Amino acid sequence: MTSLFFRELKIAWRSGGGALTGVMFFLAVVTVFPFGIGPDLNTLARIGPAVLWIAALLASLLGLDRLFQLEREDGSLDVLLMQEWPMTLVVGIKCLAHWVVTGLPLVLATPIFGLMLNVPPIGIAAAMLTLLAGTPAITLIGAAGAAVTVSLPRGGLLIAILVLPLVIPVLIFGVTATNGAMFDPDPFTAPFMILCALTLFSAVAGPLAAATMLRHSAD
């Protein structure tokens, strides 16, 4: 299992900056917002957490179609299916590796983009924490979408359409928790706990659904 994890990391690293592309897209989306809304710093600080979350959400949807597609094309997916490991676990490991390559860089890049949006330090810290807890859920739910569209040559856009409605709760509670840390009367702990619960739930349901689909698509 560990070897599978490191294999995934190596492949992602060698195939040329999947992580960097995600962060660049993150930067691009964040940059577009002030142009649309106007450079007023107070407004930006108010909506900053939401912008960070939406940008991170879109950036994590980007690379999802790569999750199983290359493996399917070169046949290594069938090899993985024939292992004695349960497929759900294999999918889980693949999601973890995918998140380390695409999700974690977004979390690490958040402080810089938060400063650009004039988000106060406490808000940046909260955004990092909620993104750290919430972006795995996006990858895990996205895995099911990626598995369903695995046989499509251009499934990327379709994955986004299928996955977006399902990750709306993650976005809601992520932004609510971040705002809760920044603005006093709103609570932080309760929405943050629900966010963690969503991630834990999708850690079970996502790989399970994806593994079911992959097993079916093989026969």
Partner 1 sequence: MSDALTEEKRSQGFWAWLTGLANPTRFMALTDAIMPFIASITVLALAAGLYMAFTAPEDYQQGETVLIMFIHVPAAWLAMMCYSVMSLSALGTLVWRHPLADVSLRAAAPIGAAFTLLALVTGSLWGKPMWGTWWVWDARLTSVLVLLIIYLGIITLGRALEEPTQAAKALAVTTLIGFVNIPIIKFSVDWWNTLHQPASVSRFDRPAMDAAFLYPLLIMALAYMLMFFTLHLMNMRNEILRRRIRTLKIRAAEAG
152 binds partner 1 (CB under 8 A): yes
168 binds partner 1 (CB under 8 A): yes
Residues 111-150 that bind partner 1 (CB under 8 A): 144-145, 147-149
Q: Under a CB-based contact definition with an 8 Å cutoff, are residues 125 and 33 in contact?
A: no
Rank residues 149 and 179 by Cβ distance to partner 1 and give the closer one.
149
DSSP letter at 184 equals T
Residues 28-67 that bind partner 1 (CB under 8 A): none
Q: Under a CB-based contact definition with an 8 Å cutoff, are residues 53 and 84 in contact?
A: no
Report in angstroms how near the CB of residue 206 gets to partner 1 at its nearest: 9
Alpha-carbon distance of 103 to 2, in angstroms, equals 19
Task: Output the DSSP codes for 140-190.
Answer: HHHHHHHHHTTT-TT-HHHHHHHHHHHHHHHHHHHHHHHHHHHSTTS-SHH
Report in angstroms how near the CB of residue 24 gets to partner 1 at its nearest: 27
205 binds partner 1 (CB under 8 A): yes
Residues in contact with partner 1 by CB under 8 A are 144-145, 147-149, 151-152, 155, 158, 161-162, 164-166, 168, 205, 209, 212-213, 216-217
